[in-house]
Amino acid sequence: MIKRKLLAGILVLSALVGTVGCTQYKAEGQENNENITIIKDTKDILATEVVASKIDIYEGIIGNDWIDENKIVITKENSELEPVKIDNAKLKADFEVKNLYVYNLNDKAEKSIGDQSKFQDGAIFAPNNKYLFYRNEFEEKATGYISDAQGNTIAKITDNVIDEYDLSEAQWINNEELIIPCHSIRGFATINVDGRIKKIKDVESGTMGTQDPLDGLSITNPIKVLDKIYYVTIHRGAHDDNKLKVYDMNKKEKKVLVKDHVQEVTLSPSKEQLLMITSNLDKDVNELITIDLEGKQRDILVEGYIFGAKWSVDGTKVVYISNEEGHEGVYVVDVKTKKKSLIATGEYYTPIKWSPSGQKIMMHSKKPKNNGRPFDEMDVTNVVTLK
């Protein structure tokens, strides 16, 4: 399948000095005799009330999502298991097995989730943080799981029409339902927390990406609002490549809603707006745009080399990552005023998530391991607390 995965890089954070475990840095003064560099606005950064007051560093883990203000779900390498070996016509590689844990940010205590003998990934919480969805990687048959907030399995999701890529695109519709693309039936499937699966067939036509990864059509970013499904199609070289479409389940009709080169799309907390990242090929930049559910009321918030945009809990702000040379970092933009603030400098990657209160932002970075081997890096989770 065609998957849009961001390359990991080296953590560069001018305000931080890496240490083992969790280290807390405050913007005011010094801590642990370390000099702290206060992040200053550049001419391109308009100051607002949203600034970082501290950044906590957790090495060796990837923060996937929040449970509450003090607990997160993480992915962590399981050194006790042998790497997964893939050797076929498409791929030859070894992957270190990673598992999911409930992680306490205060005392760093961990609790395992599900079957730790298998590679686990893709943890996302329902809006009310009551249910967790995740999947197993590298299995003969694609399998997803729904658990409670403590990691206890409630439902196992497996079906002959669902493949690994379908599960990797899962999104919560509400507190009790998920939606995934379902390429084998050229449509979608909704999944209830009790394991019930409902299939929506023949939305698209022709060769799908699971049949022909290079020339087939693939579906990403599914969003369901009432009787409509919004989604992005990837179809290399075709007229519907990177287009935002909408499918009316009642009328059984689909149309292209946005003709831009759409990279990402997410639904606002109010379920009244869509947030998109599109590529403006004429300007050679990305644009962060809001539109209503009819594709109108278009508003450009930010331009630049950006990705990973996420709404704040109250829908008033958006956090995003910039990899523009000289302006790398994590920014927050106010949806109404369009003023943006730099909250952390350096190279960051997805996943990036707001906490339930909207007072913290969790993001992923990398740093070199101290073993002298080039490109050998460890995962780092950074938690920014906002003033």
User: pLDDT tens digits, residue range 309-318?
Assistant: 999 999 999 9
| Spacing of C-alpha 354 from chain mean position | 11
The two tokens of residue 142 are: 């694609």
pLDDT in tens, 273-300: 999 999 998 889 999 999 999 999 999 9
With cut-offs at 50, 70 and 90, classify the pLDDT of residue 266: very high
Domain encompassing residue 298: 22-386
For residue 8, is pLDDT > 60? no
Residue tagged 């370390």 (tokens): 34
Q: What angle do CA 152, 153, 158 make, to 5 degrees?
A: 165
**Is 8 inside any structural domain?**
no
For residue 11, is pLDDT > 70? no
pLDDT in tens, 99-127: 999 999 999 999 999 988 889 999 999 99
Instruction: Tell me the mean pLDDT in the region 39-67.
Output: 70
**Is 12 inside any structural domain?**
no
Q: Whole-angstrom Cα distance, residue 37 to residue 13?
A: 10
The pairs formed by 368-377 with CB atoms below 8 angstroms and a separation of 24 or more are: 368/10, 377/8, 377/10
Of 21-25, 84-88, 235-239, the one with minimum mean pLDDT is 21-25
**Is 123 inside any structural domain?**
yes
Question: What is the percent of the chain where pLDDT is above 90?
Answer: 69
The two tokens of residue 252 are: 């059984």
**Is 36 inside any structural domain?**
yes
**pLDDT for the residue 52:** 67
**Is 158 inside any structural domain?**
yes
**Is 355 inside any structural domain?**
yes
Query: What single-letter amino acid sits at 370?
Result: N
Q: Under 8 Å CB-to-CB from 231, ≥6 apart: which residues?
A: 181, 188, 219, 220, 221, 222, 223, 244, 245, 246, 247
Domains held by the chain: number: 1
351 preceded by cis ω (within 30°)? yes
Contact 101, 123 (CB under 8 A): no
pLDDT in tens, 123-175: 999 999 999 999 988 878 899 999 998 889 999 999 999 999 999 999 999 99
pTM of the full structure: 0.84
Q: Under 8 Å CB-to-CB from 326, ≥6 apart: which residues?
A: none
The pairs formed by 225-234 with CB atoms below 8 angstroms and a separation of 24 or more are: 225/267, 225/271, 225/293, 228/293, 229/179, 229/188, 229/200, 229/203, 230/257, 230/265, 230/267, 230/274, 230/293, 231/181, 231/188, 232/262, 232/264, 232/265, 233/204, 234/2, 234/209
Q: Under 8 Å CB-to-CB from 119, ≥6 apart: which residues?
A: 84, 95, 97, 98, 99, 136, 137, 138
**pLDDT for the residue 93:** 72
For residue 81, is pLDDT > 90? no
Output the domain CATH number for residue 231.
Answer: 2.130.10.10
Q: Which 8-state DSSP code applies to residue 34?
A: B
**Is 10 inside any structural domain?**
no
pLDDT in tens, 317-364: 999 999 988 889 999 999 999 999 999 999 999 999 999 999 999 999
**Is 11 inside any structural domain?**
no
pLDDT in tens, 12-48: 222 222 323 343 333 333 333 333 333 333 334 343 5
Answer with the residue of higher pLDDT: 3 or 353: 353
Q: Whole-angstrom Cα distance, residue 362 to residue 344?
A: 11
